[in-house]
């Protein structure tokens, strides 16, 4: 009979957030599957627990390394899955392994705990009755523009992860694609230098223009309704460009950022910019 896969949430910063139940599971299982075994070994050392058998399963090779884990589950072992920080499968490796464990008839048990998306959402003060966790945006190109256009239409609070050094760029792209919505930026959540900043996307883009140190979670108010953003009219683009021109942003920066966020050619944005400036 197949064994049990425990899906264990681990601290996103403060090691004191590891639950007693999670610690008990990590001490008792035969095998721990870790995104990076070095990170998990440090957690075990903090607990004063000996290390059991370890299997590394990084995001880039989750499917390729699942066979060993499934074999141990097939032998009836108890296995714990954890990632570097937070809840496995939520913008972290683990979803494919959990699905495969279900398919083979193994028991799957969640051990809940820290999650950066929920921590930032809860502290943001933005509506939490309906929310969408995007995780990391595509880095560039049409994929990024398509995801931003999709997010612009969702009538739900949005949660986006970002690296500190790309925070300013991402906030500018979110502002260009979504408009100037209420938002919050959570930086280094639960850690010594934790910071949570609230404002509009425009204000936050200015505040973090040079980026931020550490890991960042951005929470953005959702669209008022599907109808409110049903059309992506040129008028909205003109209004966005007019605001940025009035704020004194260089035309080259406006064209580059708006084109990337909206999936347009820079020449198209420049043409509308010329029209906007001519009407002033």
Residues forming beta bridges with residue 80, ordered by sequence position: 6, 32
Residue 225: what pLDDT?
Answer: 63
Question: Once rounded to an integer, what is the mean pLDDT over residues 90-117?
Answer: 96
Q: What DSSP character marks residue 212?
A: -
Distance CA(126)–CA(118), nearest Å, equals: 12
Residues forming beta bridges with residue 31, ordered by sequence position: 53, 79
Mean residue pLDDT across the chain: 91
Angle at the Cα of 19 (from 66 to 164), degrees rounded to 5? 70
Do 12 and 216 contact (CB within 8 A), yes or no? Answer: no
- Residue 251: its H or E element: helix 251-262
Lowest mean pLDDT among 28-32, 75-79, 109-113, 139-143: 139-143
Lowest mean pLDDT among 104-118, 151-165, 223-237: 223-237
Query: Across the chain, which distance is largest between two alpha carbons, in Å?
Result: 75
Q: What is the pLDDT of residues 45-89, one digit of tens each?
A: 999 999 999 999 998 999 999 999 999 999 999 999 999 999 999
Task: Report the Cα 78 to chain-centroid distance in Å.
Answer: 29
Tokens 């209420």, residue located: 182
């Amino acid at each position: 009979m197949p064994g049990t896969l425990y899906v264990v949430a681990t601290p996103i910063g403060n090691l004191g957030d590891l639950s007693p139940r999670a610690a008990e599971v990590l001490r008792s299982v035969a095998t721990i599957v870790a995104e990076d075994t070095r990170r998990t070994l440090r957690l075990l050392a903090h607990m004063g627990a000996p290390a059991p058998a370890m299997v590394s399963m990084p995001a880039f090779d989750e499917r390729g390394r699942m066979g060993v884990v499934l074999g141990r589950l097939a032998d009836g072992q108890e296995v714990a899955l954890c990632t570097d920080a937070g809840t496995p499968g939520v913008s972290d490796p683990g979803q494919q392994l959990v699905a495969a464990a279900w398919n083979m008839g193994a028991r799957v048990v969640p051990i809940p705990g820290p999650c950066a998306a929920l921590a930032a959402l809860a502290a943001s003060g933005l509506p939490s009755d309906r929310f969408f966790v995007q995780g990391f945006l595509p880095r560039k190109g049409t994929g990024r523009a398509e995801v931003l256009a999709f997010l612009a239409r969702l009538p739900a609070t949005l949660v986006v992860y970002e690296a500190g050094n790309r925070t300013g760029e991402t906030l500018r792209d979110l502002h260009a694609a979504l408009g100037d919505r209420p938002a919050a930026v959570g930086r280094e959540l639960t850690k010594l230098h934790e910071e949570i900043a609230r404002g509009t996307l425009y204000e936050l883009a200015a505040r973090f223009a040079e980026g931020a140190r550490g890991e960042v979670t951005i929470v953005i108010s959702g669209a008022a309704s599907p109808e409110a953003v049903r059309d992506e009219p040129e008028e909205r683009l003109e209004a966005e460009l007019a605001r940025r021109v009035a704020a004194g942003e260089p035309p080259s920066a406006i064209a580059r950022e708006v084109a990337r966020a909206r999936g347009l050619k820079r020449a198209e944005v420049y043409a509308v910019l010329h029209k906007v400036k001519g009407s002033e």
